[in-house]
Structure 1
């Protein structure tokens, strides 16, 4: 296949992507700030380039001579819009410019987020859209393929552990009708899509990624599937006004400012969660001949529940050994 240069390869989605690319036959070069020792990468021997998205010399070394460039790195937590933009917009512009100079013929893939569809909702969403626009506007940007996954989950997602508490509680709050719809996709499926696009050599285009349900899931169904994977009954749902969730997000932001400990949830994330339509656009799904999701929500949550229980699922969950999924081809 050749050499693929990857940013964000030590993160949650990135580890799955690196493993999938290696299985597909790519030699992998990673931008890292530390040695990426992790069970999911035990069979991968990547070339390492020390640096970050602010280091233009490191970015040049990363992409020089690459046959494909995959940009996954990004921030999910920051104190303000500028904090997000420094990485999600400006870092993207730097990697795009480096690829244009050092690897002009490379296949180029940007992993964004479905949140970029609604940039007015949060600083994170705005920064992801800004990153996409930076990629398109930069020299050589027209050749970048952009992938927008829905809610990505799977073993290894530390932030996703909050779902366990919600699914096992006797009572769970949810917004009033209409119930928001969430497109879901397993990290291993996202990784396989990345490998498929790199292998196909497609240039340009915008695609949304989800599982077998482009119409998505309601909150109650996600919690019911998660509870079932844990062998529990689903919680009773308490419908609350949107203002309650927005108030909780504001309180979380205030606490983060006082304590210096910033989590994923805040007013921006509350606004994202309250948006009623995070379903995937069927017109923007990848061609089925190129890639199709293979992991249902029920199967995926079985693996997540096992990881929550003993941590064992992640060392095999590169898409190769998930119970109930045929990976023979």
Structure 2
């Protein structure tokens, strides 16, 4: 039988022991945006595998040439066009030093193993491949620095000040970007010799354009928000607002686009060297090694194998790592 209203008394109820602070207690760990981004990056298996491969390649470009007693310029026609040989792995058909069933090392009396073989002039392809990788990575570093300094500063100033300053700076960008890379290089070759300096100047002249436009867009998006108004009200100057507030808030986008510009610079250098407008002998780069090996491709295909494999790994791994960084830093792409 239901209890009547008269029987409901205060003594029948017990107050709940609830703290007012408990309602405001956070149920999970508080992490910053950067920590959350890196945590999602570390969960990306493809990006992590690519990062490990890149670290290995960078390490080999530093220590690889030191492991051979031959420098990149040591020549000897006695050991010209030797196939790869690793005595400990001679059971593998492509590392036994044989060509058309003939042991080329035994026939020429060469006792030293050449892990990547030799080229037409008898130079050690192991040393030249890692030397060439070092040059290609140097080009990539120059491109990244051009993006980080020239592109970020130029785009930040243009987007923040706007008006006539932005208009003039963007017209300059349009003029520079209207001239293709290849034309820049050809014009520089008329003044300078083909080589690392020519490619460096071409990259410094044009490679930062895309980054400057991205940073300019970020400045236009952020410069009218409340935190900028608060900084200006507290007396912060334009330089402090740009470099201490606006650019740090755009850093995720800057890192991602810098990572994507690196493989473009590596491919650009390889293409120029392949067509004879970049690095030339006796200097080695991945592009120049492929160019030299292309002339004997049908007779000695192994000479294109290792430089081609290294440059392919660099391009693929940088792009996969760039995708991982984009997924990690862009909140819209969170899974």
Structure (1/2) with the larger helix percentage: 2
Q: Which has the higher contact order (CA 8 A, sep 6+)?
A: 2
| TM-score (ref. length: structure 1) | 0.24
| TM-score (ref. length: structure 2) | 0.24
Structure (1/2) with the larger strand percentage: 1
